[in-house]
Amino acid sequence: MNDNDIVLKVEDIHKSFGGVEVLRGVSFDVRRGETKVFIGPSGTGKSTLLRCINQLTIPDRGRVWLDGEEVTNSGARINYFRQKIGMVFQNFFLFDHLTALKNVELALLKVKGMGRAEAREKALTELRQVGMEEWADHYPAELSGGQAQRVSIARALAMDPDVILFDEPTSALDPELTREVLEVMKKLAREGMTMLVVTHEMGFACSVANEILFMENGVVAEQGSPDLLLNDPRFTRMKDFIGRIDSRMHD
Amino acid sequence: MDQAVFLFDILLPALMQGLVITLQLIACSAPFGLALGIAVAVGRQYGHPAISWLCKTFVFLIKGTPLLLLLFILYFGLPSVGITLTAFAASVLGFILCNGAYNAEYVRGALISIKDGQMIAAQALGMTRWQAIRSVILPQALRRAIPGLSNEFIYLIKYSSLAYMITVIELSGAGKLVATKYFTYTESCAVVGIVYLVLVSITTVAVNLLESRVAVPGTTRAATAAQL
């Protein structure tokens, strides 16, 4: 692997909220086409980390590069980088007053400056990607959670991002709907999309992740392939964490 | 004098002239009052701290001033600093300021009610704050502000009668003149009242149509709430 393959570089990110240090120096590189999964207890800064990458939250310290250009401290150019860094949220955040199609079209028209016909074509293509083309004219309130999340994935895809950040994309969904969203994400991973995923879905992490980053207390505590973290006796903390989840589920 | 003759030959023609003036006052005030309200609400909510303070102060001052006093200042007071407005222009300006200040509060309430996620999602796509406000936040907020804004529009219909106090012979003024001249207060005022009632009824129907027309499918809150 040469350095040109590194699409996103995150270096020493720190962030505090009201005196509580949520992120205490997180660094990692993301290669093109790679899927990294972030696992860890609640409140360890996983979501904050994603938001620091596209500067929805401004980190106190640390830098982020996309394709060799610095995203942090980029001033007004941040809107250019945000097009290139897609984001999918736990609660979808679809624009409530717009149809599925218009949700996907909006940024194409306003940010990319596409013409109406071209934007519509592109939006329909992305909706087809996530299996939502037939629902193009429906409004968010008429969609199930799984459908809404798939539309929001299409909305992110439409910008042709270099990387997509998934912030607990299935945490608001029941198991059945979770499955349909994970299927879409697996498909994207297979097709070579670069993805950073914060999730509690261990099955997804193990089958899709090139690397798992186990976060605890604002730092990456363990980092490696799923196989390594699950089977190598030198790594214990993620296994402990999973064990705690499992025993809670079996109680 | 015959009641029918009084009604059809004297009162109604006079009121018709007054009604035209009233409608002109409303037509000149309401669009700018709405625009001012939206601008002040957005400025207060999303503007630079100085702009925000300015908007807040504007609303505070207008809310704290009787409209009649405002009209007196605009019509009788401003000439002393070299600005002379016609009575009609002074009325319209007063109504715009008053309507704008109250509209701003309705719109601000609606802006606050839009969840942060809408702005976050828009910004995550690379939209500027202004683009997000215009394309995502305002279209949703204005839908929610319709009941309040229509309320304020109905107030405007009625407080447009204050223009009479600075010599604009609008609907109420026309009625008052007829009432005084023929000493027919009961009849004149009753008919004037009915005309206002008709104006307000038309507004109410129009607002209902507008609301159902811009309603977002799937968000039938009113229907749901009624079942709970």
* Ranges of each domain in chain A: 3-250
Give the model's confidence band at A234: pLDDT under 50 very low, under 70 low, under 90 confident, else very high.
confident
**What pLDDT is recorded for position B221?**
59
Domain residue spans of chain B: 3-223
pTM (two decimals): 0.90
User: A251 exposed, middle or buried (CB, 10 Å; 0-12, 13-18, 19+)?
Assistant: exposed
On whether ipTM exceeds 0.90, the answer is: yes
Chain A residue closest in CA terms to B116: A93
Output the CA torsion sign for B120, B124, B125, B126. Answer: positive
Give the model's confidence band at A2: pLDDT under 50 very low, under 70 low, under 90 confident, else very high.
low
**What pLDDT is recorded for position A3?**
56
Q: Which residues of A touch B137 (CB under 8 A)?
A: none
| Backbone phi, psi, residue A11, to 5° | -130, 115
B215 close to A (CB below 8 A): no
Q: Which residues of B touch A155 (CB under 8 A)?
A: 125
In this complex, the residue of A86, A139, A155 whose CB is nearest that of residue B218 is A139
Which A residues, 39 through 98, put their C-beta within 8 Å of a C-beta on chain B?
54, 56, 79-83, 85-87, 89, 91, 93-97
DSSP state of B47: S
In this complex, the residue of A79, A85, A139 whose CB is nearest that of residue B217 is A139
| Backbone phi, psi, residue A14, to 5° | -120, 140
Evaluate if residue A243 carries a pLDDT over 90.
Answer: no
Q: Do A86 and B126 touch (CB under 8 A)?
A: no
Give the model's confidence band at B182: pLDDT under 50 very low, under 70 low, under 90 confident, else very high.
very high
**What pLDDT is recorded for position B218?**
84
In this complex, the residue of B117, B127, B139 whose CB is nearest that of residue A93 is B117
Chain A residue closest in CA terms to B124: A82
**What pLDDT is recorded for position A133?**
96
**Amino acid at site B64:** G
B64 close to A (CB below 8 A): no
The vertex-B154 CA angle with B156 and B171, nearest 5°, equals 60
The residue that leads in pLDDT, A238 or A13, is A13
Q: Where are the alpha helices (DSSP H) in chain B?
A: 3-5, 12-46, 49-63, 67-72, 87-113, 116-124, 129-132, 138-159, 171-182, 185-214, 221-227
Mean pLDDT, residues A70-76: 91
Q: Do B126 and A87 touch (CB under 8 A)?
A: no
CATH for B3-223 (1.20.1300.10, 1.10.730.10, 3.30.70.20, 1.10.3720.10) = 1.10.3720.10
**Is A3-250 a CATH 3.40.50.300 domain?**
yes
Chain A residue closest in CA terms to B115: A93
**What pLDDT is recorded for position A251?**
53
Q: Do B135 and A79 touch (CB under 8 A)?
A: no
Give the model's confidence band at A213: pLDDT under 50 very low, under 70 low, under 90 confident, else very high.
very high
- For an interface test with B, the pick among A77, A78, A88, A95 (most B C-beta atoms closer than 10 Å) comes out as A95
B213 close to A (CB below 8 A): no
pLDDT, tens digit, 9 for 90 and up, residues A90-105: 999 999 999 999 999 9
Using H for helix, E for strand and C for coil, what is the string for chain A?
CCHHHEEEEEEEEEEEECCEEEEEEEEEEEECCCEEEEECCCCCCHHHHHHHHCCCCCCCEEEEEECCEECCCCHHHHHHHHHHEEEECCCCCCCCCCCHHHHHHHHHHHCCCCCHHHHHHHHHHHHHHCCCHHHCCCCHHHCCHHHHHHHHHHHHHCCCCCEEEEECCCCCCCHHHHHHHHHHHHHHHHCCCCEEEECCCHHHHHHHCCEEEEEECCEEEEEECHHHHHHCCCCCHHHHHHHHHHHHHHC
Give the whole-number percent of chain B exceeding pLDDT 90: 91
In this complex, the residue of B120, B135, B139 whose CB is nearest that of residue A93 is B120
pLDDT, tens digit, 9 for 90 and up, residues A120-156: 999 999 999 999 999 999 999 999 999 999 999 999 9
**What pLDDT is recorded for position B116?**
95
B141 close to A (CB below 8 A): no
Mean pLDDT of chain B: 94
A107 close to B (CB below 8 A): yes
Mean pLDDT, residues B68-86: 95
pLDDT, tens digit, 9 for 90 and up, residues B87-119: 999 999 999 999 999 999 999 999 999 999 999
Cross-strand partners of A165: A87, A196
| Residue B200 to chain A, least CA–CA distance (Å) | 29
Smallest CA-to-CA distance from A45 within A17, A70, A69, A68 is with A17
User: B24 exposed, middle or buried (CB, 10 Å; 0-12, 13-18, 19+)?
Assistant: middle
Mean pLDDT, residues A37-49: 92
Tokens of B24: 């002109």
B50 close to A (CB below 8 A): no
Distance from C-alpha of B119 to C-alpha of B103, rounded to nearest angstrom: 22
Chain B residue closest in CA terms to A111: B127
- For an interface test with B, the pick among A74, A78, A93 (most B C-beta atoms closer than 10 Å) comes out as A93
The residue that leads in pLDDT, A171 or A250, is A171
Evaluate if residue B223 carries a pLDDT over 80.
Answer: no
Give the model's confidence band at A42: pLDDT under 50 very low, under 70 low, under 90 confident, else very high.
confident
Which A residues, 123 through 162, put their C-beta within 8 Å of a C-beta on chain B?
138-142, 152, 155-156, 159
